[in-house]
């Protein structure tokens, strides 16, 4: 689509073009050109716009200002997105939260614990509105008073008619967004869900996985996130549950292990690392400790430099440094210098 627009100036001009040589130069085969032509004949633009209006949908194209900027970064970004709700919320920091359809009580507790805290941090949570973790994320966002984004694997009208109408209405009423790359009456197909997952991760700064079997849509989303240069985070679980295997595999491969909300904020760059956030609160137990700490606050020093500045015997100073090291106050670096742990 992008190539066609660049060559012809607009998609409308591309559709109307009958120059096969022009299309061939772009890499299209005669069969593909014939299929496009046959499809174009069937399209009635007035009917298309009438359906969009009847379904009470808005739409945004790849070239519109309102199109999500994060999504533009990914390979194969959708050309058109149909939506209900506030498209503007995707301009905020978004975090995808996904997981298994068959979530355990443990997974539910994680969602109910993390989501309200994430909402307080003004993160917009994105998920796929599937049963289990996904839907629970949306409900908990609504309960916490925060907007949420649901990306669907079919047309919004069709998905609503399959029992999701109330949740869609609640998401929109709560200032959230429901979107799909498919027209309102498009029925979900098996291949639609992996395609949907690229949008879930593409909208987000990172993907948090809460409970996922080894083969699951949540892991597909996590792998897509890696391809899109997004952060991948995973919550560890019960080693005896199959629903924990996927998260543990992600952690083994380098995903951020999440134990609390701070782990998420640090990974997304919204908070300094814990080692930097912890204030230096150690109270020296004697004058020598206080003197050593005062010197190391100014700069890292070699042992002989500390000896020279304190005018204390080397053996006594080594003993004091080792005691402070055992307390986690100072540390000897590989080069031989002593540093203060802040």
Cα–Cα distance for residue pair 135/137, rounded to 1 Å: 5
Cα–Cα distance for residue pair 241/13, rounded to 1 Å: 55
Q: Which of 50, 58, 98, 51 is nearest to 80 (CA)?
A: 58
pLDDT given for residue 341 in this prediction: 75
pLDDT given for residue 15 in this prediction: 59
Residue range 81-94, pLDDT digits in tens: 999 999 999 999 99
pLDDT given for residue 278 in this prediction: 42
Whether 194 and 309 map to the same domain: the answer is no
Whether 126 and 191 map to the same domain: the answer is yes
Cα–Cα distance for residue pair 202/149, rounded to 1 Å: 12
pLDDT given for residue 14 in this prediction: 59
Query: Distance from CA of residue 34 to its chain's centroid?
Result: 40
Query: Distance from CA of residue 286 to its chain's centroid?
Result: 49
Cα–Cα distance for residue pair 246/220, rounded to 1 Å: 10
Cα–Cα distance for residue pair 121/110, rounded to 1 Å: 17
Cα–Cα distance for residue pair 327/311, rounded to 1 Å: 23
**Number of structural domains the chain divides into:** 3
The answer to whether residue 49 sits within a structural domain is: no
Whether 33 and 83 map to the same domain: the answer is no
pLDDT given for residue 276 in this prediction: 44
CATH number of the domain that residue 240 is part of: 3.40.50.450
Whether 195 and 308 map to the same domain: the answer is no
> Domain of 305?
287-340
Q: Which of 200, 176, 189 is nearest to 128 (CA)?
A: 200
The answer to whether residue 67 sits within a structural domain is: no
Buried b / exposed e over 207-219, threshold 16 CB at 10 Å, is bbbbbbbeebbbb
pLDDT given for residue 9 in this prediction: 59
Whether 137 and 9 map to the same domain: the answer is no
pLDDT given for residue 39 in this prediction: 55
φ, ψ for residue 157 (rounded to 5)?
-65, -45
The answer to whether residue 64 sits within a structural domain is: no
Whole-model pTM over 0.85: no
* 3-state secondary structure labels for all residues of the chain: CHHHHHHHCCHHHHHHCCCHHHHHHCCCCHHHHHHHHHHHHHCCHHHHHHHHHHCCCEEEECCCCCCCHHHHCCCCCCCEEEEEECHHHHHCCEEEEEECCCCCHHHHHHHHHHHHHHHHCCCEEEECCCCCHHHHHHHHHHHHCCCEEEECCCCHHHHHHHHHHHHHHHHHHCCCEEEECCCCCCCCCCCHHHHHHHHHHHCCCEEEEECCCCCCHHHHHHHHHHHCCCEEEEECCCCCCHHHHHHHHHHHCCCEECCCHHHHHHHCCCCCCHHHHCCCCCCCCCHHHHHHHHHHHHCCEEHHHHHHHHCCCHHHHHHHHHHHHHCCCEEECCCCEEEECC
Question: Are the CB atoms for 147 and 174 separated by under 8 Å?
Answer: yes
The answer to whether residue 55 sits within a structural domain is: no
Cα–Cα distance for residue pair 67/138, rounded to 1 Å: 22
Cα–Cα distance for residue pair 99/130, rounded to 1 Å: 9
Whether 223 and 247 map to the same domain: the answer is yes
Whether 159 and 299 map to the same domain: the answer is no
Residue range 33-70, pLDDT digits in tens: 666 555 555 555 566 667 777 767 899 989 899 999 99
The answer to whether residue 193 sits within a structural domain is: yes
Stretches in the chain below the pLDDT threshold 70: 1-30, 32-49, 55, 273-281, 334-335, 342
Whether 83 and 32 map to the same domain: the answer is no
CATH number of the domain that residue 333 is part of: 1.10.10.10
The answer to whether residue 50 sits within a structural domain is: no
pLDDT given for residue 34 in this prediction: 62
Whether 135 and 239 map to the same domain: the answer is yes
Cα–Cα distance for residue pair 235/244, rounded to 1 Å: 9
């Amino acid at each position: 689509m992008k190539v066609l627009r660049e060559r012809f100036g607009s998609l409308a001009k591309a559709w109307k073009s009958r120059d096969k040589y022009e299309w061939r130069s772009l890499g299209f085969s005669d069969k593909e050109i014939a299929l496009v032509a046959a499809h174009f004949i069937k399209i009635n633009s007035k009917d298309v716009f009438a359906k969009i209006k009847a379904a009470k949908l808005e739409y945004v194209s790849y070239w519109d200002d309102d199109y999500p900027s994060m999504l533009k970064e990914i390979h194969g970004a959708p050309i058109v997105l149909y939506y209900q709700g506030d498209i503007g919320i995707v301009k905020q920091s978004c975090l995808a939260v996904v997981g298994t359809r068959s979530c355990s009580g443990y997974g539910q507790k994680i969602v109910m614990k993390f989501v309200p805290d994430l909402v307080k941090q003004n993160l917009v949570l994105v998920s796929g509105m599937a049963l289990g973790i996904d839907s629970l994320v949306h409900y908990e966002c609504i309960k916490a008073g925060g907007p949420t984004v649901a990306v669907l694997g079919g047309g919004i009208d069709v998905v609503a008619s399959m029992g999701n109408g109330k949740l869609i209405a609640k998401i929109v009423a709560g200032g959230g967004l429901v979107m799909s790359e498919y027209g309102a009456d498009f029925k979900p197909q098996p291949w639609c869900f992996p395609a949907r997952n690229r949008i879930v991760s593409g909208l987000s700064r990172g993907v948090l996985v809460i409970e996922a079997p080894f083969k699951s849509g949540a892991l597909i989303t996590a792998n897509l996130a890696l391809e899109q240069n997004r952060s991948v985070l995973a919550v560890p679980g019960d080693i005896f549950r199959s629903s924990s295997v996927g998260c543990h595999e992600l952690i083994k491969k380098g995903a951020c292990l999440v134990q609390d909300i701070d782990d998420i904020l640090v990974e997304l760059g919204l908070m300094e690392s814990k080692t930097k956030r912890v204030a230096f609160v150690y109270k020296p137990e004697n004058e020598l400790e206080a003197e050593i700490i005062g010197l190391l606050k100014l700069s890292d020093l070699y042992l002989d430099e500390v000896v020279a500045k304190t005018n204390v015997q080397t053996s006594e100073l080594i003993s004091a440094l080792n005691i402070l090291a055992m307390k986690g106050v100072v540390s000897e670096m590989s080069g031989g210098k002593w540093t203060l742990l802040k």
